[in-house]
Amino acid sequence: MAQVAPENSIGVFDSGLGGLTVLREIHRLLPQENLIYFGDTARVPYGNKSAATVIRYSKEIVQFLLARNVKAIVVACNTASSYALETIKQMTDVPVIGVIDPALRALVRTASPQAIAGLIATRGTIQSGAYPAALQRLGGKQKLVTQPCPLLVPLIEEGYTEGLVCELIVRDYLEPLVRQGVGYLILGCTHYPLLAPLIRRLYPQFHLIDSAEETAHELAAVLANASLNRKEGTARIELYVSDMTESVRMLKDRFFAGKVDIFTEAQLAEY
């Protein structure tokens, strides 16, 4: 393993700001850990881009994080986890954790083998086939019904998480899953937990599975096994984005108001 220490930061990244849902859970579970987040807000969304492009973007961000000597990397993006996870693991010796396996472990643990699970995600995540492959690898027998939702990430990045527009789009995407008897709904994008209150109100019959909490617990176990968990101290939180917009500031305040030590735009070209 690279020369890292418990005091080093955990690196987290996403195509935009949806990964702040994962960062929030990590901070809640591991409040003593230093955190560095990169949101690629200039190039969001990743879900409509090719695998090669997602891999290239992910490698650039990982180089940015490795330059800051992070002790672990959390790929808080389902599309990047689908396409780039193995490439990232080959770039570094530090632990690398995606968000797909934690979500599916929760499904396998809580749902009966006869259950029907719906997966809402970006087109890229669904086209990758990563979720069905991982479910089979984890021994899950549940039926998985997929629904691409290409409009949700742009809506959320612009600050729309409630109201008539969101409700109409969410209904359009989820009604087919209702008709297919879905009981469990996997939020297959880290942006989607911001719509969870709306989804619960519209579809109380769904059992929602959000990978953020599961990913945080997996990270905690990985750090403990590698003796890399920071025992005490006040966490330092650094947020970097590739494009600073008003919606970026709004979502940052929604999640981490008053807790952020660095909040700035950063360019990836030098990495």
Q: List, by residue number, the catalytic residues.
A: 77, 189
Three-state SS letters, the chain: CCCCCCCCCEEEEECCCCCHHHHHHHHHHCCCCCEEEEECCCCCCCCCCCHHHHHHHHHHHHHHHHCCCCCEEEECCHHHHHHCHHHHHHHCCCCEECCHHHHHHHHHHHCCCCCEEEEEECHHHHHHCHHHHHHHHCCCCCEEEEEECCCHHHHHHCCCCCCHHHHHHHHHHHHHHHHCCCCEEEECCCCHHHHHHHHHHHCCCCEEEEHHHHHHHHHHHHHHHCCCCCCCCCCCEEEEECCCCHHHHHHHHHHHCCCCCEEEECCCCCC
Beta carbons of 82 and 55 less than 8 angstroms apart: no
> Tokens 């809640």 correspond to what residue?
28
Hey, which residues does 35 pair with through a beta bridge? 10, 237
Q: CB count, 10 Å around CB of 208? A: 14
Tokens representing 193? 């937990």
